[in-house]
Amino acid sequence: MRARVELEPAPDRVRLVQACYGSLRAMVADLRDFSEGERADLVHAFAAEKSPDAMTTRMNSTDRLRVSGEAVQRAMQQVEGEWIFNLELVDLVRGDQPLRPLDTAALRCEPGLVDTWELSWREFCYRLPPLIIEEQLRGAAPHPEICLWVPADEAGLSFVEREYARMRPREDHGNGPNLFFPVRVDRVGAPLFQLPRAAPYAFFWGLLRRAEPDTPERMAEQVADNEVIYARGLEVGAVRYLPDTPPETDAFWAGHFGPAWERVRALKRRYDPSGIFTASFGAAASRPG
C-alpha cells in the first residue's frame, strides 16, 4: 500500500485573531462562517470558566491579549452563565503576499474582546497544547474525556447549550480544556469514519475533563456523566470521536458503526483472522456471532 503526501513551502509568518464570546451560538456562527467561506487557514475555539483570566489569555499560551480592562469588566457583568468561548482565526502568510481582509468589528464577539497579532511559523508550530499548559500550571491529573462530532444545526446547538447550562466549570468539569473544531461533512472521505449526516457542517466538541480530586470515585463519576452526555448527543445525531474513552462493549461498537458494522467485522475476519489486533473495536469485531 502506498500513500502520496503533497508538500508545500512553509509560511513565513502567521496572523492570529482571538475573540471572546459570551454566547455559544454566536461563536459557532463565526466558526462556521470563517470555515465555510475559507476565510482563514485554521479556525478553532476553546470554552473556559467565565473569568478575567480566561478572557485575556491567548490560546495555547500564557501570554496576554491586548484588550481593555473596561471591556473585560463589562463582559463579566453582562455575560450570563459560567462559561465563555474563545475563537481563534489563523492566516498563514508566505513572502510578501497580502493578508486576507479582516474586519474584526464584524465578529459576533463581546465588544472590545478581540486582539490580532503575528508569530513566526516556528513560534506558531511550537505553541503548547491546552492540556500541556494546564498540567504545567496545575500538575498532572487524569482526564476522563468525551469527544463528539455534533451537527451544526438547531438540534445540535441546543444540545450543547443545555450541557453548558448544566455543567459547572470547576465542580463538574475540573476546568479541563474544552475544544471546538469545524468540519464540512462531505469533505471527509475516509472509509468507515463516522460523522453526523444531519447537516452539511458539524463541529468537534471535546470535553477533556480533569478529575479533582484524583480518586477512582471521582473518575467514575465523570466517566458516567460522559456516557449521559453521549446518550443525549445520540438523540440529536451526534457521533463519538473514538480516541476518547468509549465503553468497550459490543453494543457500543455495533451502534457506532451502524450498517457498516458487518463490513468492519468482515474486514477483521479477512485481515486479522487470529484476532491479534484487539485494541479499540478489535476485540468486539473478532467475536463470532
Domain boundaries, the chain: 13-127, 132-240, 250-286
Judge contact between 44 and 180, C-beta under 8 A: yes
pLDDT, mean of residues 12-21: 97
pLDDT digits (tens, 9 = 90+) for 223-248: 999 999 999 999 999 999 988 888 88
pLDDT, mean of residues 91-120: 93
pLDDT score of 25 more than 70: yes
What pTM does this model have?
0.91
Give the span between the Cα atoms of 27 and 21, in whole angstroms. 6
Mean pLDDT of all residues in the chain? 92
CATH number of 13-127: 3.40.462.10
Q: Phi then psi for 11, rounded to 5 degrees?
A: -70, 160
| pLDDT score of 52 | 98
Judge contact between 53 and 20, C-beta under 8 A: no
What confidence category does residue 289 fall into, taking pLDDT thresholds of 50, 70 and 90? low
pLDDT digits (tens, 9 = 90+) for 171-215: 999 999 999 999 999 999 888 899 998 889 999 999 999 999 999
CATH number of 132-240: 3.40.462.10
